[in-house]
Structure 1
Amino acid sequence: MPTSPIDTSTRRRREHLAVDGRVLSDEYHGIGRMAEMLLRGLAGTTEFDVTVFVRQDQSSRRFALDDLIEGQGHRRAVFDLPLTSSWQWVRWPGALRRAGATVTLSPYSLGGPVVGGGRKCTFVHDCIMETDARFAPDRRTRSLYMLQTALMARTNRVFTRSAASARDIERFYRVPVEPWQVVPGGVDEDFAAGAEPVPRIGAQVLPATYVLQVGARRPHKNVAALVRMLAHLPAEYHLVLVGTIDGRFPDPVPRLAEELGVTGRIVHLPRVSEAELHSLYAGASVFAYPSLIEGLGLPLLEAMAAGLPVVASDIPVFREIAADAAVLIPHEEPREWAEAVLSLRSSPLRAELIAAGRAQVKKNTWDVTVARLLTALRQM
């Protein structure tokens, strides 16, 4: 039966971008957020058709997958292996060939192809495990992670999210990362929309005055520093910790809180919805971020966008992304942290930091991030 000729000229002009969407889960706060906003931003481009690979049973409280994929005009494909599986390297070439991929984007270097898929790029977000063995669950995990990252870095074009991380990648993997390969994460405009505080999250009643921290409970997050800080604050102050506890690591918080007598002043919320997270930022007194190392520190930017003053550890990446819009303090000084929190209760400094933070995040919108990613993809 004869068929009508199909005009494929437009298709030839458009590249086919395959994106590993397995990071769109509650397990990956910053990486998942970045993937979400990139998919939204890519919906407006005329340069790429996009296929998003997800697991068959993938679900998330934070990300509406139907909206992020089909709702943005993208195509869904199933890639039913976890990010930690070594079998994915065998399966990727066939999956990408069937998708017709000419460019492949892996939002996380732990997963993604090393062959097939046309031009390949991956995000190496940080060198946390590389920097200190204590930040890895065990020696074997650290060795395998570094081996896999090295392989991805040598077979993919590396993107990263800060100049600080670019320097670390060059130091550990001997892979050059040029300024155009730095694609910092942005901030969702909804954080600046002014959410209302809420009295409770689910069954958990929220304290009237609290310091907020957001992020998975892992050693490099240094949450114990906030427990020590809390012991130097008046009894009305509480600590709200948002994020799952990584069971691969010992959690020092319960024992330390008991020793310091502050157990009743700590609220732990393992998982919250996007709307709940916005309300938590809106109701907090201060956002505290005592990390020992980060690739970017997206919650810090989210807090500034929400109009929340920030106290953070004095590390290179926070100097880079916060500039003068946060109070930066050595992480091992709990009394100084407490003094900083109290100084921001009601003072000209609080208003100055809020204004400076909002100005700073305007340099880190998702529109800027997507534009930089598209520029980087063109230069591959």
Structure 2
Amino acid sequence: MLFDISRLVRSYEQSFATGVDRIDLAIGLDLLKRFGSECHFVHAGRHGVCILPQDLGKAVLSRLQHLWNDDPSSVAKASALTKLRLKHEPRVRSHFFPPSDRIVSAQTTYVVASHSGVGKIAGGMSGLDPHRKMQRLIYIHDLIPIEYPEYQRPETKQQFSSFLKELTDAPVIAVSNSNDTDRRVKKFAAENAWQLAATDVIVPTLDFRLMPATPLTPSVSAFLENSSPYFVILGTIEPRKNHLLLLQIWRELSQLKNQPRLCIIGKRGWENENVVDMLERCPAITDTVFEFADLSDFEVQTVLQHATALLFPSFAEGLGLPMLEAAALGVPCVASDIPVFREIAPASTTFLSPLDGAGWLAEIVSRAGDVHNNQMKDQS
């Protein structure tokens, strides 16, 4: 087994993991558990492509498991030696290709689960496996860069297309994260003459557990001390997530006497000029919209579980892990009426078109009013 660990090496120091990060890590850990000493690690970067030492690959998986899934307070900072090895060994080892026939052979399966890695290097797969001996398996999270290029950076569509082309010039197994993604992948594969050896669907399941309590930052504590109702949107701030719709709604809500709050959890992404302008220059939402970029998992859970609802107005998604996280905490969700959400959403989910601003406004006002009325009853 040859697991592409490139994205996880790049994320080695990140305290917050995206959904793709967590799935990539889960697959890497599962392969290591099942294949043990026969699980090897390939890394691709500016230096080129190389096989990482097994102990170094295991150290990356172990650290990220503790950092993202266990108690992050128990994780010591990476040793200077480990950091040095991650910085220098890939560059040094890239000069020792081709890898041994024991690692790259007809019995080897190459697995990439991150839309990153060897496929991002022009000629990367032919350099790694010049005789096309290996079986290839790609786990596909979505085709959004190709189907919705307007929501991406200008160069992303071509980069992702090149990535897929690099991996599919030999027989490949395409595994999708949902039935919706699977349908899209099969259509795209037929249109682009992929050599599909097989397809499968493996929908991620949420191994939910409450994170160990850690001190809340002052800004989070202050936010939670306010008893007024609030809603959460969780995920990277990028155009397809439709934050702009919610910010416009909250501008309208500024006319109300008892305004609910909006909590935005996620880092700022790309192509967000209008969203950033509103966050930084719209006085009407200054007191009701709060932005948190670097919360711990415990803080995310704490904020989410006290929310009136999770709001998920995306135009396009590959899956939607925040919806599953909210459901595990018993928090209702108001979501876009898109196919993948219909596939994975809990029965209690309210669906609205991502273009229906009036519908979203009415739903938010109704839910906030119910909370306010209940609070008034409790006080009386």
Task: Give TM-score, length-normalised by structure 1.
Answer: 0.68
Q: In structure 2, what is the equivalent of residue 167 of structure 1? A: 183
SS in 2 for 1:272: coil
When Rg is computed on C-alpha atoms for both structures, the one with the higher figure is: 2
2:35 aligned with 1:29:
no
Q: CA deviation at 1:136?
A: 2.0
Deviations 1:126-184 (A, max 9, x none): 1112122311211x332222122233244432111111112222333425989961111
Superposed counterparts of 1:114-153, under 5 Å: 114=125, 115-116=128-129, 118-138=134-154, 140-153=155-168
Unaligned residue ranges in structure 2 (runs of 5+) = 44-51, 76-81, 120-124, 372-380
Q: In structure 2, what is the equivalent of residue 367 of structure 1? A: none
Q: In structure 1, what is the equivalent of residue 322 of structure 2? A: 299
Confirm or deny: 8 A CA contact 1:166 1:177 kept in the other structure. no
Q: In structure 1, what is the equivalent of residue 277 of structure 2? A: 255
Distance in 1 between residues matched to 2:152 and 2:96, nearest whole Å:
27
Q: Counterpart of 2:301 in structure 1: which amino acid?
A: H
Q: In structure 2, what is the equivalent of residue 339 of structure 1? A: 362
Distance in 1 between residues matched to 2:363 and 2:198, nearest whole Å:
34
Count of paired positions = 316
Residues 1:91 and 1:264: Cα distance change in structure 2 (over 3 Å): farther
Residues 1:178 and 1:286: Cα distance change in structure 2 (over 3 Å): farther
SS in 2 for 1:255: helix
Confirm or deny: 8 A CA contact 2:327 2:346 kept in the other structure. no
Residues 1:65 and 1:263: Cα distance change in structure 2 (over 3 Å): closer
Distance in 1 between residues matched to 2:346 and 2:310, nearest whole Å:
16
Confirm or deny: 8 A CA contact 1:128 1:220 kept in the other structure. no
Residues 1:43 and 1:329: Cα distance change in structure 2 (over 3 Å): same
2:225 aligned with 1:219:
no
Q: CA deviation at 1:224?
A: 0.8
| RMSD over aligned Cα atoms | 4.2
SS in 1 for 2:354: coil
Distance in 2 between residues matched to 1:37 and 1:261, nearest whole Å:
42
Q: CA deviation at 1:190?
A: 0.7
Residues 1:344 and 1:265: Cα distance change in structure 2 (over 3 Å): closer
Q: In structure 2, what is the equivalent of residue 112 of structure 1? A: 118
Confirm or deny: 8 A CA contact 2:268 2:293 kept in the other structure. yes
Q: Counterpart of 1:256 in structure 2: which amino acid?
A: M
Residues 1:167 and 1:61: Cα distance change in structure 2 (over 3 Å): same
Distance in 2 between residues matched to 1:181 and 1:300, nearest whole Å:
23
Superposed counterparts of 1:136-285, under 5 Å: 136-138=152-154, 140-155=155-170, 156-174=172-190, 175=194, 181-190=200-209, 201-204=217-220, 205-206=222-223, 207-208=226-227, 209-233=229-253, 234=256, 235-246=258-269, 248-256=270-278, 258-259=281-282, 261-285=284-308
Q: Counterpart of 1:184 in structure 2: which amino acid?
A: V
Q: Counterpart of 1:182 in structure 2: which amino acid?
A: V
SS in 1 for 2:7: coil
Distance in 1 between residues matched to 2:95 and 2:303, nearest whole Å:
41
Confirm or deny: 8 A CA contact 2:309 2:331 kept in the other structure. yes
Decide which moves more: 212-221 or 166-175: 166-175
Distance in 1 between residues matched to 2:96 and 2:187, nearest whole Å:
29
Residues 1:162 and 1:335: Cα distance change in structure 2 (over 3 Å): same
Q: CA deviation at 1:220?
A: 0.9
Distance in 2 between residues matched to 1:111 and 1:244, nearest whole Å:
23
Distance in 2 between residues matched to 1:244 and 1:60, nearest whole Å:
25
Superposed counterparts of 1:90-105, under 5 Å: 94=98, 102-105=108-111
Decide which moves more: 37-46 or 106-115: 37-46
Distance in 2 between residues matched to 1:251 and 1:59, nearest whole Å:
36
Distance in 1 between residues matched to 2:239 and 2:368, nearest whole Å:
29
Unaligned residue ranges in structure 1 (runs of 5+) = 1-15, 82-86, 349-380
Superposed counterparts of 1:320-359, under 5 Å: 320-322=343-345, 324-344=347-367
Task: Give TM-score, length-normalised by structure 2.
Answer: 0.68
Decide which moves more: 182-191 or 312-321: 182-191
Residues 1:123 and 1:256: Cα distance change in structure 2 (over 3 Å): same
Residues 1:210 and 1:95: Cα distance change in structure 2 (over 3 Å): farther
Q: CA deviation at 1:36?
A: 2.7
Distance in 1 between residues matched to 2:17 and 2:235, nearest whole Å:
9
Deviations 1:48-101 (A, max 9, x none): 843455798989997536999xx9xxxx997769xxxxx9xx889746868568
Distance in 2 between residues matched to 1:323 and 1:230, nearest whole Å:
26
SS in 1 for 2:340: helix
Confirm or deny: 8 A CA contact 1:23 1:31 kept in the other structure. no
Q: CA deviation at 1:284?
A: 1.5
Distance in 1 between residues matched to 2:240 and 2:68, nearest whole Å:
33
Q: CA deviation at 1:44?
A: 5.0
2:34 aligned with 1:45:
yes
